[in-house]
Amino acid sequence: MKRVASLLASAFILLVPLSSASAAMPEAATALFEAKTVAARDGALSTLEAAAPKDPASAYAAGAGEFFTALELLASGLHRHGFESPQSFMLPLMQLPVPTNPNPEPLTYEEFRSILVAFRDRLAKSAATLGSVPADADIGMVIDLTHVGIDLNEDGTIAPDESMAAIMAALSHGGMAPDGAAPALTFRFDRADGYWLQGYAEFLMAQADFWLAHDFRGTFDGSFHMLFPRAKLPLQDILVPPPSEMGGNMFSSEWRIADFISMVHMINWPVIEPERRKAARQELLEMIRLSREDWKAIRAETDNDREWLPGPQQKGENQLTGLEVGEEQLQAWLATLTMAEDLLEGRALLPHFRITGKGINMKRFFDEPKPFDLVLSITGPGIAPYLETGKILTSDDFDLIQREFGGGGFLTFALWFN
């Protein structure tokens, strides 16, 4: 479980390729990722962005910094309104270790959408900047992840307990960072890892765009007090218990379980921005393309120097995951990418457990958007408009891929591989 927790940390905090040691790195890159204040960090980022069009190393660092600040925009928005994590694997993005805010500001539906828009748009900027780095750029950025972080509590400083290593440790323990220093995690990030980070930007953009494509006000009004219990949401006074009775983990708290059920029940969202739902499919396709570029670049590497994501030729257990990548896992992952691309392009259909002879055309699901009802999609009526005859993936197709990932499990490798 600790391996999976560590991978969830890397997937949802998404470590940034940075530089703190290489003399070949621009001074502004070192300043950016050694900064102890938000003001110093932002000043260095502006310098890198100005140099990016003519300097691949500056573009690489700037793109990473933009991704980094996208995470900060999300975290600070959550903190401002008193976010409290339900600490459940069922809501992985909601496990962010945002510090307690004793005086949260009220939160409205419109303000929450604005937080998502700012997060999404900064990710798009990061993806574009990382995409401007030439494929043959000679990149090598070494960092100890205890040295860099984000301002989680909006105090203008970047403290040791807000470092990436500390945040990952907090996610692994299911809450705030444990006492004591986080263990050192030093990696050398190269050109391949830029594709990896850019792919995760596209993945998170797709999630944000899917939410923003819909009107989810009913879900917000009826259940988001579970996440923001003191932000003056409509049902706070009726359904939020006293602090002494709130509990922590979702499954040890009756009121959190009840609100999670309400949340699922109320995911019946009208489409209000159909272009965003179409964009989500394109972003997922771009993520797939970038994963292929990542592995192409990894396979071309001849060194084996503190690899964030090693290829089969780079032997040794990864210090974050404790896993080693073999040729079997890589080939299975490439097959997974092809399967996912076929689904998103409508060349293959997604099966439904209670429907035979037809499958779900996921291209039409995104490009011909209709109201999204989660429960009815699971039970069948909600996906009826997208059913077609054709090549339907089978459980054997999925099992064949999953068997190649052994004890680590498909999910563990998938979160790591991107």
Q: For residues 94 and 200, state if they share a domain.
A: yes
CA atoms within 13 A on the CB side of 13: 28
Q: Both 72 and 194 in a single domain?
A: yes
Please tell me the predicted confidence (pLDDT) of residue 139.
93
**pLDDT given for residue 280 in this prediction:** 98
Shared-domain flag, residues 204 and 341? no
Look up tokens 């910094």; give the residue. 65
- Could you tell me the end-to-end alpha-carbon distance of the chain, in angstroms, rounded to an integer? 19
* 201 and 64 within one domain: yes
Domain end residue (candidates: 193, 214, 235): 214
Q: Which domain holds residue 163?
A: 2-214
> Is 188 found in the same domain as 79?
yes
pLDDT score recorded for residue 247: 61
Give domain status of residue 182, yes or no: yes
Residue 156 lies in a domain: yes
User: Do 27 and 164 share a domain, yes or no?
Assistant: yes
Judgement on whether residues 349 and 200 belong to the same structural domain of the protein:
no
For residue 281, being part of any structural domain is answered with: no
Closest CA to 189 of 14, 18, 413, 13: 18
Question: 330 and 296 in contact (C-beta within 8 Å)?
Answer: no
DSSP state string for 319-388: TTT-----HHHHHHHHHHHHHHHHHHTTSSBEEETTEEEEEE-HHHHHHS---EEHHHHHHSGGGGGGEE
Ranges of residues in the chain with a pLDDT under 50 are 1-23, 175-178, 180
pLDDT digits (tens, 9 = 90+) for 263-292: 999 999 999 999 999 999 999 999 999 999
> Does residue 60 share a domain with residue 179?
yes
Kindly state whether residues 202 and 331 are assigned to the same domain.
no
Domain boundary among 157, 184, 214: 214
Phi, psi of 213, rounded to the nearest 5 degrees: -70, -15
Residues 50 and 164 in one domain: yes
The verdict on residue 285 lying in a domain is no
Last residue of some domain: 164, 199, 214? 214
Angle at 201 between CA 394 and CA 33, to 5 degrees: 140
Residue labelled with tokens 């807000």: 162
Q: Tell me the two tokens of residue 212.
A: 């923003």
Phi and psi of 64, rounded to 5°?
-65, -45
Residue 139 near residue 60, CB atoms below 8 Å: yes
Residue 294 belongs to some domain of the structure: no
Query: Is the full-model pTM beyond 0.85?
Result: yes
Within this chain, do residues 328 and 210 fall inside the same structural domain, yes or no?
Answer: no
**Residue 94 has what pLDDT?**
62
Q: What is the DSSP letter of 187?
A: E
pLDDT, tens digit, 9 for 90 and up, residues 65-78: 999 999 999 999 99
In a domain, 31, yes or no: yes
- d(Cα 42, Cα 330) in Å, to the nearest integer? 38
Count of domains in the chain?
2
Q: What is the pLDDT of residues 288-347, one digit of tens each?
A: 999 999 999 999 999 999 988 999 999 888 877 788 888 998 999 999 999 999 999 999
* Per-residue model confidence (pLDDT) at position 12: 41
Q: How far apart are CA 256 and CA 240, in angstroms?
A: 9
- For 295, the token pair is 């592995």
Give a yes or no: residue 337 inside a domain.
yes
Instruction: Give dist(CA 69, CA 151) in Å, integer.
Output: 9
Record the tokens describing residue 132, joined without a space. Answer: 């401007």
Rg value, the chain, Cα: 22
Does residue 282 sit within a domain? no
